[in-house]
Structures are given as C-alpha cells and as structure tokens.
Amino acid sequence: MIALAENIFKYYGPTLACENICLSLEPGHVFGLLGPNGAGKSTLVKIFLGMVRADSGRAEINGYPASSPKGRKAAGYLPELFRLYEWLTGYEWLRFNARVYGIPAREEADAIQRTLDLVGLAGRERERIQGYSKGMQQRLALGAAILHRPALVFLDEPTSALDPVGRIEVRDIIGRLQAEGTTIFLNSHLLSEVEMTCTHLGFIRRGQLIASGARENFMQSSSELRLELGGLSHDLLAYYDNQGILMAHDEKGITLQVSDPEAVPRIIREIVEQGIAVYRAETRSLGLEEIFLAMMRD
C-alpha cells in the first residue's frame, strides 16, 4: 500500500473540511479525486503532504506518517500554480531540485538525465527556461516533482493551461510513471482528462468521501434509462425522486439513473402496474460528467 488515509477529520474553526475520510492506494494506481470547489480536495492533499495536520485520524505514505521526513521524501508534488526560475537553464533547475531533495552527488547526473528522458526534454536542457513553451515548462515542473523517484506523486490540475498537444504529452508521462509502478494522485476539473487517465476515482462532497473505487466500476454500473410514457403522475415522479434516481422529466417521459441492469424490468413493471403505458425504453452508459453530477446531487 502506497497511500493510506484512515478516519481523517479536519476542522477550520467551525467548518468541517474533512469528515472521517478513509482511502487506500496501491502501486500503479492513477487516482482522480473529484469534487466541487470547497469540497475538501486540497485539504486532503495538504494532509498527505504534511502541510496541514489532521485533527484526528492518520495519513501514511509508503508506510510512514505523511508528515514525517520519510513520508515527505516518498512524495512528489506539482502544484497548479508553480513557479520556475526562468533565468536558469532546464538542467540547472533540475540540479537545484536534486540538491534540495538531497540526492547524492554521485547519483545527480544520472537522476537528471533519466528525468529529462522521461519528460521529453533531453537535448533542450541547456536552454534557458524563459525560452520554453508552456508545455515544456509544465513538463520541466513535473520533472522536478519526480526527480527523486517518489512512490507517490500529487498533480494539481496538471493539464488545465495546456493546449491539446501539451495535454497529450503530460498524459503520456503519467502513463510512463504508472508503468514504472508510481502511484499518481490527480486533482482536476477536466473530467475528460480524468476519464482518459485515471484507473481509480474518488468523489468528495462537503468533506465526505462518498464513493471510491476502480473507474470501470463507476462507468459500467451507471446507466441512463429513458422511458417514453403515456402520461405522468406526481406520485410517480416523487417516488423516483425520493430514491435519488430521477434525472429529468418532460411531457414525453422520464429519465432515470440505474446502477443495475436487473432494475430495468422492475422499473417498467412498476410503471405499468400504475396504469401508465410504456411506449419506449432505452438505456445508455453514462459519461464521467453525468456520473459526477449525479454523485454531487443531494
């Protein structure tokens, strides 16, 4: 196990930012934490990074307390708003970070070269950072976060300011890190990127981790059922709304969220038993954006 959060609580005055959060990540997981602004995403990341102390519970990285020197050394972090010393060359920036991380001098050159190869900047390392494109700067900043070969890397909106080519480049780096067994913890509002990149997902709302697991479990188990009906009743709408599965309705019928294919014939039978004709039934798998909206719905 690379990362563990167990019964994490964190208050900011009277505000509960994290409530009884439990989470575990294994080597090679690419985990996407999804939630609206203010849901507790940044607080949880800061607890893992040792930047914020939890009021109760424990957080570990690679078997060490997250706030301990060994726990911190096992993690890498790329913030959304990073800053580079643009008067340095790419090589000088990585060498500076190598010394901050305490990489032994005899290993420094190899670590820098390996990182340059991984992020696709080999051959450009002697150029000043001020001449780098946005995508190159993003890859260099990511290189600094993984220079010491951490077991767990936190990436905060790593592709939000990039063009499509830059997003593909960062996505490719994440894939190579995953292949090496590195665990990635990704915060992003770009749900399409999360859907393409992450192997595991977590949904956080009002400080509570309401669901987590393998991506395919969410994608396969969530479907939209569209029913065209010969009429609607207030009681029928209220019944499915109370179950939390009513997504939409109009004069032609209703749209429901179903998590089990076996629920479809049961729902049709319930409607027919109320004397309402079912003229058409169609199911389709939900995309991540629709799953996210359903998860965030009260």
Q: How far apart, in whole angstroms, are the C-alpha atoms of residue 277 and residue 267?
A: 12
pTM, whole model, 2 decimals? 0.80
HSE-CB at 209 with a 13 A cutoff on CA atoms is 20
Q: State yes or no: pLDDT of 34 exceeds 90.
A: yes
Q: State yes or no: pLDDT of 199 exceeds 70.
A: yes
Quick one: pLDDT at residue 164? 86
- By CB atoms closer than 10 A (0-12, 13-18, 19+), residue 19 is middle
Q: State yes or no: pLDDT of 185 exceeds 90.
A: yes
CB 25 within 8 A of CB 152: yes
Quick one: pLDDT at residue 19? 96
CB atoms within 10 A of CB 156: 18
Structure tokens at 106: 């005899």
Q: How far apart, in whole angstroms, are the C-alpha atoms of residue 173 and residue 166?
A: 11
pLDDT digits (tens, 9 = 90+) for 244-284: 889 889 989 999 988 777 888 999 998 999 899 999 998 88
Q: What domains lie within the chain, and their CATH numbers?
A: 3-212 (3.40.50.300), 222-296 (3.30.70)
